[in-house]
Amino acid sequence: MSLSKNLDRLVARGKYIGGNAPHIRWGQMLRTIASISEEQLRLEGLKQLIPLESLGRIRGGVVTRANAYFLVRELPFDQMPTRLRVTRADLKRVSVVVDGLDYISKIERQFLKPAIKGPESLESAFSIKRNDVRLFDVNESKAILGQQHANGALAYLRRGETVPFKTSDDDLKGGIPSQRSQVKNRKPFWYSLQGEQSHGTRIIFPEHIGARYVFTLVTKDDESVVIDKLYLFEPLNEDDASIIHLALNSIFTWYQTELRGRSQLGEGVLELKIPDYGGLLLVNPVKTSRKQKRSLLNLFAHVPNPGARPSLEELGSADRHNFDLAYLDTCGFQQPEHMLLRLERELRALAGERNERRLSVADAKVSRRKMTNVAASIDAYATRLATSLEPHPDPRSFVPDGAATETVTILAPVDGALDIGVELFNQGEVLAGDICIARAGSILAAQFVRGALLIQPDLGRVEVPLRPALETCVTRWLQESRSWQKTFKTAAEHSMLGIEDQRTRASIEQRVLKLLHAI
């Protein structure tokens, strides 16, 4: 047969099975126990056991590609800066949040969703650890946002299009969020997050497993959004959610999880991908009677707080034993008591094996440990110092009520150190680097505009009071600034007593001044 005909065979449809979801991997095949595997295959052939992927959809959480921008922290009312002038009545409509650069913004609540992030958020099989992390999620165009008067969301979107977010040493995690390679090509907008999640009943579980095999049930009235490094399962039939949930929290599923996972992270941690979870075999809800379901649900309800503590510690309790025994019997195993003993013994052996592997490479990991990250240390010192100080004074807080004002338009984004022009041809201008970004008309007005932009660099315009209120306002602001600088120097000296290197001290001070909007 000629080479050309062989090539034609290669491209013919149906010759090769595509996809990247192997039913059994080599690691699973080598670690499995023959007696357990035979029973498992028999029940799978009888359709008593079916894979999880046939009962619903498994998918990953939302991947933002810019967590420092999209994931913000909501501030409680007593920590909100007074300059934002937010009342308790306003909290029904807006929220005050802090992004990854410690910048405070005011955003409408409809664009902020509670987030479930990381395995630590899964407290147990039935409870989620609530926190103040929110996902900034906008689906409308800027034109529609303008019609809705969503000024907070619009201002934060402009921040994502103008301000670099660099919170990691990874070169792929820096720069302006909207211009990142994995963000700018999103459709229909750069801020469109992929993987919209429904509000139905969901079961959430982690990509990485340590001492807990935890599968958490989230009810359909919970609007929280699942973030990357967590998976969510959406059942095809809502009525099957409870039986699927208890099946995932059984010892039989734990054993399969150890078999199908990849213990290659060097920390004794198990890693599973969507195909790994999709192949887990569970009891078939269709072949389970209502009486059996009620019995299993009742037994599972008596297990004290499942998933809240290390899973191997749960195996010693009587309630856990009764539940697992009843589940194996419902699955159809011929000798459930004997099978339960085999599963527990093999599960402990598999979990112990990956923990021993972590200890065996501990010395090698120490020898390859990197030197201390100086930049991270500077950030840590700066953050600790910044949290003990109030932000730099805002000149707008000294404007008397009812004072007449004039509008100064900001002509360009703030990109560089802010300064004011005092020479003949640039007097009264506000400069960012060498670029004029505003023309205030006088040195006092330029000082006022500069002070406002220090606090809120994404402003499009600044309302400047007219004389004589302007002179009084700037004078009081400069006095408060000098007082704030003295307080800052005292706190900095006290905080950096053990740091001798002057360059490090200067770097920490500059970082703190930036965090507190003083430069």
What is the per-residue pLDDT across 139-171, written as a single tens digit (0 to 9) for each? 999 999 999 999 999 999 999 999 999 887 777
pLDDT at 360 over 70: no
Weakest-pLDDT range from 34-38, 69-73, 195-199, 428-432: 195-199
pTM assigned to the model:
0.66
Residue 51 bridge partners (DSSP): 281
**Confidence at 363, pLDDT banded by 50, 70, 90:** low
What is the DSSP secondary-structure string of 221-282? T---EEBTTEEEEEESSGGGHHHHHHHHTSHHHHHHHHHHSB--SSSS-EE--HHHHHT-EE
pLDDT at 121 over 90: yes
Residues 96-113 as b or e (16 or more Cβ within 10 Å = b): bbebbebbbbbbbeebbb
| Among 233, 159, 176, residue whose Cα is nearest residue 200 | 233
**Confidence at 15, pLDDT banded by 50, 70, 90:** very low
Mean pLDDT of the chain: 85
* Mean pLDDT confidence for 7-33: 58
Cβ proximity of 448 and 373 under 8 Å: no
Distance separating alpha carbons of residues 107 and 46, to the nearest angstrom: 55
Weakest-pLDDT range from 5-19, 28-42, 87-101, 265-279: 5-19
CA distances from 250 to 39, 125, 286 (A): 17, 11, 19
The CATH number, out of the four listed (3.90.220.20, 1.20.1050.10, 3.40.50.2300, 3.30.450.90), of the domain defined by the range 46-61+197-362: 3.90.220.20
| Among 237, 215, 284, 254, residue whose Cα is nearest residue 51 | 284
Sequence length of the chain is 519
> What pLDDT does 384 receive?
73
Sequence spans of domains, the chain: 46-61+197-362, 67-179, 374-515
Distance of CA 38 to the CA centre of its chain: 42
pLDDT at 369 over 50: no
**Confidence at 9, pLDDT banded by 50, 70, 90:** low
Helix H or strand E encompassing 438? strand 435-439
> What pLDDT does 372 receive?
45
- Work out the angle at residue 333's Cα, subtended by the Cα atoms of residues 331 and 339, and round it to the nearest 5 degrees: 115
Residues 203-222 as b or e (16 or more Cβ within 10 Å = b): bbbbbebbebbbbbbbeeee
From the CB of residue 32, how many other CB atoms can be counted at a distance below 10 Å?
A: 17
Three-class SS state of 424: coil
> What digits encode the pLDDT tens for the residues 227-252?
988 999 999 999 999 999 999 999 99
CA distances from 96 to 27, 69, 115, 158, 460 (A): 49, 14, 16, 17, 19
Strand-strand pairing, 225-226 and 112-116: parallel
